[in-house]
Chain A
Amino acid sequence: MDFPFFLINNLSISFGGIKALQDISFTMNKGEIFSVIGPNGAGKTTLFNCISGLYKPNQGNIRFNGESIENKKPDAIARMGIARTFQNIELFSHMNTMENIMLGRHIHMKTGVFKGMLMWGRPSFAAQEEIQHRKKVEQIIDFLELQNVRDKFVGALPYGTQKLIELGRALALEPSLLLLDEPCAGMNSEEKQDMIFWIKDIQTDLGISILLIEHDMKMVMDISNRVLAINFGESITLGTPEEVQQNKEVLKAYIGEEE
């Protein structure tokens, strides 16, 4: 059977009396960069939290590769191949960069309590697995040019670097769908430019589909294949960047109405 890569159908969620999302529907194709835009409080991050299983939607479904995921737990969703980054950085501040990204390998590793405790010497299972996965992580560190902070604790690193480490951790999971929540927030224009290149590389070289939340319109218009605009939890329009840019409702939501 032919089913869409990623599909959201009539998704709604409310907190008390506030309708955070109402009847959101869209389909994403494999290999696409799909952006979600909207003013502050529009429900973009709520949408991400529903997809990654942190919130349970009141109604509607989310299907990934044809399988319904709206009632799955976050860790089960991660195991299916959906990784994400956070708007407010959620790194493991007492680990170094290497170990943070190593946690992204969690689902690909097998060492449990007993094998871990019995890590005696290089030939042991746990040591071999560590070596093998650290090599994989090293490739990600090389890709994102994080070599100089490899062994530093992440808590004290600059904001932009922390955002990159979060991206690295998500890539280590080897997802087929990557959710990026404002990857460029708080970056200067040079860092933004680098981030745009990396996101394009992730799409073309690694073949990962990307669902993106971003406020920087120039960047959104530059890299997105399609854009969904939402406001007050409802979708305004969906289309190519040019179409969305021309849309009156979108302009109204962002700039306000002409007198």
Chain B
Amino acid sequence: MDMKRDYYEDVQLFSSKVVIFWFAILIAVLYLFPLFVDNYYVYVANYIAINIIVVTGLNLLVGYTGQISLGHAGFFAIGAYGTVTLMAKASFPFLLALPCSALIAAGFGFLLGLPALRLEGPYLAIATLGFGLTITQIIGRMDIFGGREGLHAPDITIGSFVINTDKEFYFLLITLTIILLFFMRNLIKTRVGRAFIAIRDADIAAQTMGVNILYYKALAFAISAFYAGIAGGLYAFVLKFIEPEIFTLMMSIMFLAMVVVGGLGSMMGAIAGAILLCWLDLKLRNILDVPYIGDWLEHLSKSWFSITGVSNIQFIVFGSIMILIMLFEPLGLYGVWIRTKKYWRTWPF
């Protein structure tokens, strides 16, 4: 058995011409669709793209490296405040301020990752939770970050272009998202990604094979925080205004929920999870717009589920989805996709 193998096939991006074709179509659709739809849908697309970036980073940490973080809203906040402050106070251009603030987030991530060598599971969750809560409190107390009043995002200029509208911002955002997704995919396929997965599956064996787990766990936190930082910096310009109250514990939990619903340790799953939960979140926030049962849902929510009287049916729905996923498809949306694929391949048997 002496077949010549091309080992590049194992790691290359596109396995066949067909895949390249469909990928080109997808890219074309992504770049053309804002020309045909309302501004609202572009806003929705921006919101989803930002969440995809965070969830891709968080999935590296939770899904691939097997660590947990309940503090990603903190990195998200560092990215947002860092970018806006660097642009407004130090007059950095946007394309420099964004990676700089993401690097600051990554630095915090690395430091937070160091105790992960000793802390596991629930203990790590509590430590990261503490970080997420603390960072917004500190930001809220500092005048340079606008304190409780918050900060307005300045205009973005790239070269001679000024980006004002959601549509203009969309093209910038989708380009960055695609690049970041490619980076992550390549990372996972090569040496560092393999070390992350090895730590998740059998950390003792990984150590005795020469993987420095202290460094790699902290590195996973840093890369994950970098992605959250980039996303936070971009989010500031979707909202145009940031204040500490935005970056709550609920936000961290939502990021985690997207990873779990999508499927731990799958990039496509994380993307699908982000799309599904973001869309549901936006839809269910304006609960009266839901056709037919909107009124009833609001009544239900206010009389049974809410202490403050604010409608919160979306969280009930998210909770139910997560329970159902855990019960019936632990691999999340990715698992559903695998099963469907198998079904069609073997159809009609």
Pick from A106, A120, A131, A147: contact of B8, CB below 8 A: A131
Partner of A78, one of B186, B209, B265: B209
Decide if B211 is an interface residue (CB 8 Å cutoff): yes
> Closest approach, in angstroms, between the C-beta of A32 and any C-beta of chain B?
21
Within 8 A of B (CB), among A78-116: 78-79, 83-84, 86, 90-95, 98-99, 102-104, 106-107, 109-113, 115-116
- CA of A53 to CA of B206, assembled, Å: 13
Contact across chains for A54 and B8 when beta carbons are under 8 A apart: no
Is there an interface contact between B190 and A111, defined as CB atoms closer than 8 Å?
yes
- Distance (whole angstroms) from the CB of A196 to the closest CB of chain B: 24
Q: Which of A75, A78, A112 contacts B192 (CB 8 A)?
A: A112
B183 near A117 with CB under 8 A, answer: yes
Check A119–B7 contact: CB distance below 8 A: no
Asked whether, in the complex, the Cβ of A75 is within 8 Å of the Cβ of B207, the reply is yes
> Is there a chain A Cβ closer than 8 Å to B257's Cβ?
no
Q: Does B198 contact A (CB under 8 A)?
A: yes
Nearest CB of chain A from residue B29's CB, rounded to whole Å: 23
- CB interface residues, A 108-149, toward B, < 8 Å: 109-113, 115-120, 122, 126-127, 129-131, 134-135, 138, 147
Give min CB distance, B265 to chain A, whole Å: 7
| Per-residue interface assignment for chain B, residues 186 to 224, with 1 indicating a CB less than 8 Å from any chain A CB and 0 otherwise | 110111111101101110111111111100000100010
**B5 CB-CB contact with A under 8 Å:** yes
What per-residue 1/0 map shows which CB atoms of B169-183 lie under 8 Å from chain A?
000000000000001
Q: Are A74 and B208 in contact (CB under 8 A)?
A: yes
Contacts A111-B190, A111-B191 known; A106 to B209 CB distance under 8 Å?
yes
Would B186 and A90 count as touching, CB distance under 8 A?
no
- A163 located at the interface, meaning its Cβ lies under 8 Å from any Cβ of chain B in the complex: no
Distance, CA A117 to CA B180, complexed state (A): 9
Q: Is A52's beta carbon under 8 Å from chain B?
A: yes
Q: How far is the CB of B7 from chain A (nearest CB, A)?
A: 4
Instruction: Tell me the dominant secondary structure on chain B's binding face.
Output: helix
Contact B207 A119 (CB under 8 A): no
Whether A152 sits at the interface, judged by CB under 8 Å, is: no
A138 to chain B, nearest CB (A): 7
Interface size on B, residues (CB 8 A): 36
**A78 and B197 alpha carbons, distance in the complex (Å):** 19
Q: How far is the CA of A78 from the CA of B213 in the complex (A)?
A: 13
Task: Flag if A113 contacts B219 (CB, 8 Å).
Answer: yes
Give CA–CA (A126, B185) in the complex, Å: 13
Instruction: Check A119 against B204 for contact (C-beta < 8 Å).
Output: no
Minimal beta-carbon separation of B35 from chain A (angstroms) = 29
| A74 to B, closest residue via Cβ | B207
Report whether B197 and A116 are in contact in the complex, using a CB–CB cutoff of 8 Å.
Answer: no
Given contacts A130-B7, A134-B10, contact A94 B197 (CB under 8 A): yes
Separation in Å of the B267 CB from the closest CB of chain A? Answer: 14
A24 to B327 CA separation, bound complex (whole angstroms)? 51
Residues B208 and A92 in contact, CB atoms below 8 Å apart: no
Shortest CB–CB separation between residue A236 and chain B, in angstroms?
28
Question: B189's closest neighbor in chain A, by CB?
Answer: A119
B1-28 vs A, Cβ < 8 Å mask (1 yes, 0 no): 1000101101110000000000000000
Query: In chain B, residues 262-287, which have Cβ atoms closer than 8 Å to a Cβ of chain A?
Result: 265
The residue in A92, A104, A131, A135 that gathers the most chain B C-beta atoms within 10 A of its C-beta is A92
- Chain B residues with Cβ below 8 Å from A127 are 8, 11-12
Tell yes or no: A248 within 8 A of B by CB: no
Question: Are A92 and B191 closer than 8 Å at their CB atoms?
Answer: no
Residue of B nearest to A148 (CB): B1
Which of B1, B12, B207 has the most chain A CB atoms closer than 10 A to its own CB? B207
Task: State in angstroms the CA–CA spacing of A120 and B195 once bound together.
Answer: 20
Judging by beta carbons under 8 Å apart, are B189 and A173 in contact?
Answer: no
Contact yes or no, A147 B210, CB < 8 A: no
| Contact in complex: B197, A75 (CB < 8 Å) | no
For the complex, what is the distance from the CA of A86 to the CA of B206, rounded to whole Å? 12
Evaluate contact between A94 and B208: CB separation under 8 angstroms. Answer: no
Q: Check if A116 sits within 8 Å of B208, measured CB to CB.
A: no
C-alpha spacing A118/B11, complex, angstroms: 13
- In this complex, the member of A79, A84, A130 whose beta carbon has the largest number of chain B beta carbons within 10 angstroms is A130
Which residue in chain B gives the minimum CB-CB distance to A77? B208
Q: A92-B198, A107-B210, A127-B11 are in contact. List 15 more A-B contacts (CB 8 A).
A: A52-B208, A75-B213, A78-B208, A92-B197, A92-B205, A103-B195, A103-B206, A106-B210, A106-B211, A107-B209, A116-B190, A116-B191, A130-B11, A135-B7, A173-B209
Residues of B whose CB lies within 8 Å of any CB of A are: 1, 5, 7-8, 10-12, 183-184, 186-187, 189-195, 197-198, 200-202, 204-213, 219, 223, 265
5 residue pairs, one from A and one from B, having the closest CB atoms = A78-B210, A90-B205, A116-B190, A107-B210, A134-B7
